[in-house]
A and B are shown apart, each in its own frame.
Chain A
Amino acid sequence: MNSERALFGYHGQYLKIDLSKNEYEIISLSNERLEKFIGGIGLATSILLDQRDDHYPALSPESSMVFCFSPLVGSPVTTSAKFAVVSKSPLTQRLNDAMAGSGFAIAGKKTGFDAICITGRASRPSVVLIEQDCINIVDANEFWGLGCHETQNRLLEKFGKQFSFATIGPAGERQVRYATLSHDGRHAGRGGSGAVLGSKNIKAIGVHGAIRTPWANAEKLVAVSKALSKKSLGKATEKYRELGTVENLVTLNRLNALPTRNFQAGKFEQASQFDMSAFSKSAEKTRSSCAACTIGCEHIYKIKNSADTDHSSARLEYENLFALGPLCGISDVETVIQASALCDDYGLDTISTGATIAFVMECVEKGLVDQPIQFGNGDDLLNAIHAIGKRTGFGDLMAEGTMRLSQTIGQGSEKFAPHVKGMEIPGYEPRALKTMALGFAVQTRGADHNRSGAYDADFRGENRFHLDSNSAAAAIETENKAAIFDSMILCKFVRRVFDDFYSEAANILNLMTGWNYDVETLELAAERIIAAKKLYNIRSGWLPEQDRLPDRFFDDSTGEFGEKIDREKFAGAITSYNTQRGWQENGFLSDSLLEQLELAEFNI
């Protein structure tokens, strides 16, 4: 490939910090590696595979986590200021790839590294400060116990505004299995990255630097970026700008696809309370965006006259609205705002938090558990979040997530514990969106709507009611595209701004790197990245029976448009998915495929 060529868009090296040994080393990344895995989730997965520590549990000191930037970070390409964080998930004990957009990505890349790999465990609560090749691990006692917001402010006060920080909240410190990483008020939310950092005794990572990477064709890159930015202000992204994703709730409700009361129904009787355009009239609303984004989909709502001034405003998106609202039978938007703000401050993933509480609510309803946590009760919801964030009382069990909680409760509760591989299901009712159901089951990180956009296929034609080889092809198409978005890294909300995604993406990458991507090589890169993630899971002990949904979705219907899923057809669709990917029927990867995808070096 490109071993002798000059490097544009990359530094060609990553930093590895071993907290147990208090040592660091700088490791080269070959041009071949960078070209094959691009950056973001792709490159981070390859670095994680290099560590060969996949047999250790996620929260053990030996387990590594990789923060990874991309060739486009720092460029004018809209929405490109993002980083990926990849590790083993404490929820699933399989690969977790989370992402977020913030100044942390820009400052992190300027330290002179394409990625930062952290392993080991610090002997006491610490903050890691990285300033180019000056790495300091300093005491974090004064920050331990603080919420995400205050931690961020106090760190900036103490170490200076030249730093950008990724931090954990109290939930990460206590290793709640779905704790987040927070930065600039945004979160790398799913899969428990915050717990992994907490298990390493690290409260925050601060980055600062001034090392820039050159761009292969700066003039054309700027011109293409300008054109893309202009298009991103058009109709294709109007929904995100004007309404935000919160508007999904009433639409999905109309289509019987809104998970309600722990997936017992696809419609919420009080969904009209979540008409956020109407709600905006009585609340203060502001808009914001990730760094370097021209769309600005963030809609921040503030409750007027709230008694709890620390938790009276929150970024609302569809996922926190559904998970802390209808999924828990809650119809009061102000309660959902407060619950979201609490989750943000503890550093809790709102989807897993809402789903775990909703699961307990159903257990209480069925008489399997005796706890004051009832559907529709806002105070119960807020108390449960505090208990999880602090791991007090029953909250200590809830902090383990629905899979482990259902194993403790037993009595058949496993059948309706809403998770795949241990990760809680997001806001798409699988019985009403059957391609998405398949996407949830086969995803490497568990039930996930960010790495598989299979719902897109459900909102075309009549796909949402069928499961066949076409569903498998559609799920693969959306996953492959997502793998490239997540490796470049671009926000998927720009996806409809592209007329021909693969060729436009190849052009952008070529202008940055000077390499020769085309549609074919990018499609191959997508296949490679997805197979690499699967390989990590196989090395971690994945088995085919883990690609499944809870029994509820096969045994109960939610009424019209929510017919239960046919077990045989579902199994057939999974087999079809595997074979269409070129994998073995049961999902394992053959040696010849690994050779073909140039992954053989990782096959141990």
Chain B
Amino acid sequence: MKPTPIDVEFFGVARLAAGLTYIEVLIDMPTTLGKIIHSIDSLVPGAAGGLLVDEKLAPGIIINIDGRRFETDLSTEINSAKSVILMSIDVGG
């Protein structure tokens, strides 16, 4: 099977932490959110560090998959996804 391209987008504090606004990763499906985040590091070393605390998603960050569901658990299985959005958990104001 060919690896699947996923658009990873960064907003808010996730953008601050990673220093990125967008990156495309290629990944074998099925995968997990944790693997997607670690794959960012292989392209931009160090970028994933600020997104994680003790191998968990840093507080203040949440992940959206394909504009639909929100997750914070990095072990969440992903069978198919076109985009993964890392954003601030607070979108209120």
Contacts and interface: CB of A to CB of B under 8 A. Distances in A.
Interface of A: 234-236, 238-240, 242-243, 245, 247-248, 250-252, 254-256, 277, 317-319, 427, 449, 453, 455-456, 459-462, 465, 492-493, 496, 560-561
A456 B92 contact: yes
Contact of B91 (A234, A235, A459, A462): A459
A286 B15 CA distance: 21
Interface in B37-74: 53, 58-60, 62, 64, 67-70
Contact of A318 (B9, B87, B93): B93
A203 B79 CA distance: 62
A238 B13 CA distance: 7
Contacts of A242: 13, 16
A267 to B, nearest CB: 11
A71 to B, nearest CB: 26
Contacts of B92: 245, 248, 449, 453, 455-456, 492
Contacts of A245: 92-93
Contact of A459 (B16, B67, B70): B70
Contacts of B9: 254
Contact of A462 (B58, B69, B85): B69
Given A255-B85, A455-B91, 14 more contacts: A235-B59, A238-B60, A239-B88, A242-B13, A248-B88, A251-B87, A254-B9, A254-B85, A318-B93, A455-B92, A459-B62, A459-B91, A461-B69, A462-B68
Given A236-B59, A462-B68, A465-B68, A496 B11 contact: no
A252 B91 contact: yes
B78 to A, nearest CB: 15
B67 A561 contact: yes
B67 A496 contact: no
Contacts of B13: 235, 238-239, 242-243
B11 A251 contact: yes
Interface residues of B, number: 24
Contacts of A459: 62, 70, 89, 91
A250 B93 contact: no
A239 B64 contact: no
Nearest to B16: A242
Interface string B6-21: 0001011101100000
Contacts of B64: 255
A581 B93 CA distance: 26
A457 to B, nearest CB: 10
Contact of A317 (B59, B91, B93): B93
4 smallest beta-carbon distances between A and B, as pairs: A245-B93, A318-B93, A251-B11, A239-B88
A319 B93 contact: yes
Contact of B60 (A236, A317, A462): A236
A251 B91 contact: yes
Nearest to A243: B12
Given A236-B59, A236-B60, A496-B59, A248 B70 contact: no
Contacts of A277: 15
Given A235-B59, A459-B62, A492-B92, A247 B11 contact: yes
A562 B21 CA distance: 24
Contacts of B60: 235-236, 238-239, 496
Contacts of A236: 59-60
Contacts, number: 80
Nearest to B88: A239
Given A238-B60, A453-B92, A250 B11 contact: yes
Interface of B: 9, 11-13, 15-16, 53, 58-60, 62, 64, 67-70, 85, 87-93
B67 A560 contact: yes
Contacts of A453: 92
Nearest to B58: A235
B62 A248 contact: no
A443 to B, nearest CB: 15
A496 B91 contact: no
19 contacts: A235-B53, A235-B60, A243-B88, A248-B91, A251-B11, A251-B88, A252-B91, A254-B11, A254-B67, A254-B85, A254-B87, A449-B93, A453-B92, A455-B92, A461-B69, A462-B70, A496-B59, A496-B60, A560-B67
Nearest to A433: B91
Contacts of A462: 68-70
Among B59, B62, B89, B90, the one with the most A-chain Cβ atoms within 10 Å of its Cβ is B90
Given A238-B60, A239-B60, A243-B13, A248 B93 contact: yes
A492 B93 CA distance: 9
Contacts of A560: 67
Contacts of A455: 91-92
Nearest to B64: A255
A234 B13 CA distance: 12
Contacts of B91: 248, 251-252, 455, 459
A460 B70 contact: yes
Nearest to A272: B21
A560 B85 CA distance: 16
B68 A251 contact: no
Contacts of A460: 70
Contacts of A255: 64, 67, 85
Contacts of B11: 247, 250-251, 254
A252 B64 CA distance: 12
Among B64, B85, B93, the one with the most A-chain Cβ atoms within 10 Å of its Cβ is B93
A242 B11 CA distance: 13
A427 B89 CA distance: 17
A277 B93 CA distance: 17
A255 B83 CA distance: 12
Contacts of A492: 92
Contacts of B59: 234-236, 496
A236 B88 CA distance: 10
Contacts of A496: 59-60, 89-90
Given A239-B60, A496-B60, A247 B70 contact: no
Contacts of B16: 238, 242-243
A461 B70 contact: yes
Contacts of A318: 93
B85 A247 contact: no
B65 to A, nearest CB: 10
